């Protein structure tokens, strides 16, 4: 049932639907609207759950090439390729639009944090100089998401440039 | 009349209004709904115009302290202080949520680009090493907006750390 609901929301968001209400979602998913009212306080909360599920379900594997520069470049390219897909970009915008108060944790950020920590841990073990996880989030992840969320074009070389910049900080 | 419309939208967004439609805005602004239908193709287009006006109207002056590090730090703190105000943060999210297709220019980004160019130009004239304008956008502006848009907390020291990072790239 959850899958039907998430799919319905995904389709509605994907079609750029203007009015996404519990009744509209329920009809599309073939469930009773009361199911939705019981489970989520409002549409935004449901929208956010769907967005997080969509943005983190991939189980992306973290690159392990033996060089931090290559790992980060591959990783930045995976992220860029993923979030620039029109459907994902729309999800992302719907997700942030649904946020009103400060969040203490964010599934998207948490996943990126964990992946960055894996890569820097391996690099440290190989004796490489590494930026901090926070620097990777600030200087690779943030600019990629910023461009996509603002609907600004992201050129093919952008991920590699960001990696080069963050590594230059540690020298 | 434009001011009345923009103020009405600002109030509605500020109150977290769920349904912002042309009739609702028109009633609040005391104008005829046809005025809105004639001027904007849809509510999102109006919302975006308002957001841009709100986010760029300040005519913020660009710091000129005689040191690029201090200029960038002051500037990053101004931006952080500005966009973390709850009303501004809401505007920002409403603006990005209204974007569907890639934009070729963005008033917010353009304004930041011009400010960064001013500061690096002055620093170059003083003989200082400077990052590029794109690096300033990627590594100072993007992480600040990223945190605010994702509703993640931004600590007081964050702007200064970002500036230190971007300057470390040029050494």
Higher pLDDT: B168 or B49? It is B168
Ranges of residues in chain A whose predicted pLDDT is under 70: 14-18, 54-60, 98-101, 104-105
- Write down the pLDDT at residue A110: 82
- For residues A103 and A161, membership in a common domain is answered with yes
- For residues B91 and B161, membership in a common domain is answered with yes
Quick check: B51 and B94 in contact, CB under 8 A? yes
- Write down the pLDDT at residue B60: 64
- Write down the pLDDT at residue A137: 96
- For residues B10 and B69, membership in a common domain is answered with no
Instruction: Retrieve residue A4's tokens.
Output: 């039907």
B58, pLDDT greater than 60: no
Q: Is residue A126 part of a domain?
A: yes
- For residues B81 and B19, membership in a common domain is answered with no
* Cβ–Cβ gap A102/B152 under 8 Å: yes
Q: What angle do CA B120, B121, B125 make, to 5 degrees?
A: 110
Q: Is residue A57 part of a domain?
A: no
Mean pLDDT, to the nearest integer, of B30-37? 93
- A145 close contact with B: CB closer than 8 A: yes
Place of tokens 């809105």: B36
Identify the band that residue B14 occupies on the pLDDT scale cut at 50, 70 and 90.
low
For residues B120 and B85, give the distance between their C-alpha atoms in angstroms, rounded to a whole number: 27
B70, pLDDT greater than 90: yes
- For residues B23 and B83, membership in a common domain is answered with no
The CATH number of whichever domain residue A86 belongs to comes to 1.10.357.10
* Cβ–Cβ gap B103/A150 under 8 Å: yes
Higher pLDDT: A126 or B56? It is A126
Among A50-59, A160-169, B110-119, B153-162, the range scoring the smallest mean pLDDT is A50-59
For residues A164 and A55, give the distance between their C-alpha atoms in angstroms, rounded to a whole number: 26
Residues of A in contact with B103 (CB under 8 A): 150-152
Identify the band that residue B164 occupies on the pLDDT scale cut at 50, 70 and 90.
very high
Identify the band that residue B59 occupies on the pLDDT scale cut at 50, 70 and 90.
low
Q: Is residue A131 part of a domain?
A: yes
C-alpha distance from A143 to closest chain B C-alpha (Å): 5
- For residues A33 and A72, membership in a common domain is answered with no
- For residues A100 and A155, membership in a common domain is answered with yes
Instruction: Retrieve residue B152's tokens.
Output: 């993640």
Domain of B77? 64-168
Residues of B in contact with A145 (CB under 8 A): 146, 150
- For residues A95 and A142, membership in a common domain is answered with yes
Alpha-helical runs (H) found in chain A: 2-14, 22-29, 33-39, 43-56, 68-83, 86-98, 107-125, 133-136, 142-149, 158-168
* Cβ–Cβ gap B138/A162 under 8 Å: yes
Q: Is residue A113 part of a domain?
A: yes
Query: For the segment A33-55, what is each residue's pLDDT rounded down to a tens digit?
Result: 999 999 998 888 888 777 777 66
Mean pLDDT, to the nearest integer, of B98-119? 80
CB-CB: which of B100, B141, B153 is closest to A102?
B153
Higher pLDDT: B53 or B17? It is B53
Distance of CA B127 to the CA centre of its chain: 30
Q: Is residue B156 part of a domain?
A: yes
For residues A26 and A43, give the distance between their C-alpha atoms in angstroms, rounded to a whole number: 11
Burial A4-37 (b: 16+ CB within 10 A, else e): ebbebbbebbeeeeeebebebbbebbebeeebbe
The CATH number of whichever domain residue A6 belongs to comes to 1.10.10
- For residues B27 and B77, membership in a common domain is answered with no
Kindly identify which residue of chain A lies nearest to residue B165, measuring between CA atoms.
Answer: A169
- For residues B20 and B76, membership in a common domain is answered with no
Q: Is residue B126 part of a domain?
A: yes
Identify the band that residue B61 occupies on the pLDDT scale cut at 50, 70 and 90.
confident
Query: For the segment A50-71, what is each residue's pLDDT rounded down to a tens digit?
Result: 777 766 655 567 999 999 999 9
Identify the band that residue B100 occupies on the pLDDT scale cut at 50, 70 and 90.
low
Residue A111 φ/ψ region, left for φ over 0, alpha for ψ in the -120 to 50 degree band, beta for the rest? alpha
Q: Is residue A58 part of a domain?
A: no
- For residues A107 and A153, membership in a common domain is answered with yes
Quick check: B137 and A150 in contact, CB under 8 A? no
Identify the band that residue B10 occupies on the pLDDT scale cut at 50, 70 and 90.
confident
- For residues A71 and A142, membership in a common domain is answered with yes
Q: Is residue B59 part of a domain?
A: no
Number of structural domains, chain A?
2
């Amino acid at each position: 049932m959850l899958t039907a609901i998430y799919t319905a929301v995904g389709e509605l968001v994907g079609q750029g639907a203007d009015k996404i209400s519990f009744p509209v979602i329920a009809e599309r998913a073939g469930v009773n609207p009361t199911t939705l009212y019981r489970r989520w306080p409002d549409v935004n909360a449901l929208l956010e759950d769907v967005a997080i599920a969509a943005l983190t379900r991939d189980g992306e594997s973290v690159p392990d090439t033996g060089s931090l520069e290559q790992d980060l470049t591959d990783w930045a390219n995976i992220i860029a390729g993923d979030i620039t897909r029109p459907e994902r970009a729309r999800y992302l915008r719907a997700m942030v639009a649904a946020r009103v108060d400060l969040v203490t944790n964010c599934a998207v950020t948490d996943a990126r944090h964990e992946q960055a920590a894996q890569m820097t841990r391996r690099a440290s073990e190989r004796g490489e100089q590494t930026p901090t996880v926070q620097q990777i989030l600030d200087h690779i992840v943030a600019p990629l998401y910023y461009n996509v969320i603002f609907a600004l074009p992201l050129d093919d070389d952008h991920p590699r440039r960001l990696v080069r910049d963050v590594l230059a900080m540690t020298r």
